[in-house]
Chains A and B, each alone.
Chain A
């Protein structure tokens, strides 16, 4: 069995990003910091998808004036495109809801608006 770059460093980077994002989501109370944690989680997942499809010494999978060499896998790059667009759409909706919550209750602390009022 062949050995790649020792100890799989990009996968450890993905584990670090997802771990930091999970800690932020669990422990912060400010709503803007929660949204930042969710955005870091989305970035970690996109990085994981791209580094799954790397071939050692490969070039981009495009045939126009292509240099010689083996090509990397194109399917994880297509899935990452979709994931980035979905992350942008979710971020826009979350920020709009935070603006509405601030106008309705007057604070962006998630402990202030736990009990439903009329």
Chain B
């Protein structure tokens, strides 16, 4: 019974994914109003030649701040998990 329910849920999910893949916009023609503005004005507003770096650090700097926090938390978690316990003297 449980295997039947899991198989039914999996089939419905994969069918939904394939249906959405046909209903999206055609592949080479995305709707783009924000990116047209960024491609035209990135050189005069930020002064960088690389539009992707200008988006990562200037137009969307908050996301980079959150990502730096996640990297810091993950590194701290790995170092904590592998710490040796000091042997205390038990009488």
Contact between A and B in the complex (any CB pair below 8 Å): yes
Interface of A is mostly: helix
Interface of B is mostly: helix
Please state if A78 and B49 are interface contacts (CB–CB under 8 Å). Answer: no
Please state if B60 and A11 are interface contacts (CB–CB under 8 Å). Answer: no
Q: Which residues of chain B have C-beta atoms less than 8 A from A73's C-beta? A: 30, 32, 35
Query: Least Cβ distance of B84 to chain A in Å?
Result: 12
Cross-chain contact of A75 among B38, B70, B77, B78 (Cβ < 8 A): B38
- Given known A22-B14, A96-B78, contact A74–B52 (CB-CB < 8 A): yes
Cross-chain contact of B35 among A1, A26, A64, A74 (Cβ < 8 A): A74
B71 within 8 A of A: yes
In the assembled complex, the Cα of A86 lies from the Cα of B70 at a distance in Å of 7
Question: Which A residues have a C-beta under 8 Å from some C-beta of B?
Answer: 1-5, 7-12, 14-15, 18-19, 22-23, 26, 51-57, 61-64, 71, 73-75, 77-79, 81-82, 85-86, 89-90, 92-93, 96-97, 100
